[in-house]
Amino acid sequence: MLAEHFSFSDRQAIMGHSMGGHGALVLALREAGRFTSVSAFAPIVNPSSVPWGEKAFTAYLGADRDAWRQYDASLLMAEATHRLPVLIDQGLSDNFYPLQLQPEVLENIAREHQYDLTLRWQEGYDHSYYFITSVIEDHLRFHARHLLAA
């Protein structure tokens, strides 16, 4: 609807926090070529293997783990043929890390598949919006750099 009334560039970037960060990663990995970059703050990256994700996926998708694959950022990255830059910030004082948030899983997959992932560990930060406000400028600059690239 907005595109009908306003002029927009077709270049897009996406970011999110926690489950929203997971959603941003999943959309960017599933929609090859739609986004120039993706970033996330303390995202859930491997929901198929953590208690939160297993509970949610079972409730929404059923017990068939194959049905979960298309909603798991780590599994999608392992199978991706399209590459886009990824920036993730993770607070080291986050009470959901490492049990629910497993950025090392995504980091290992990115390394194995030569995927452009920057994972930054933030000492003293938790899962709060204060964490986001402390690093969001870097994320906006990251996306601007990729959105404005020729």
Active-site residues, by number, are 18, 94, 127
Tell me the sheet residues that pair with 91. 122
Who contacts 37 (Cβ-Cβ below 8 Å, separation ≥6)? 13, 14, 28, 84, 85, 86, 87, 142, 143, 146, 147
- Which DSSP helix (H) or strand (E) runs through 86? strand 86-91
Per residue, the 3-state secondary structure of 110-150, as one string, reads HHHCCCCEEEEEECCCCCCHHHHHHHHHHHHHHHHHHHCCC
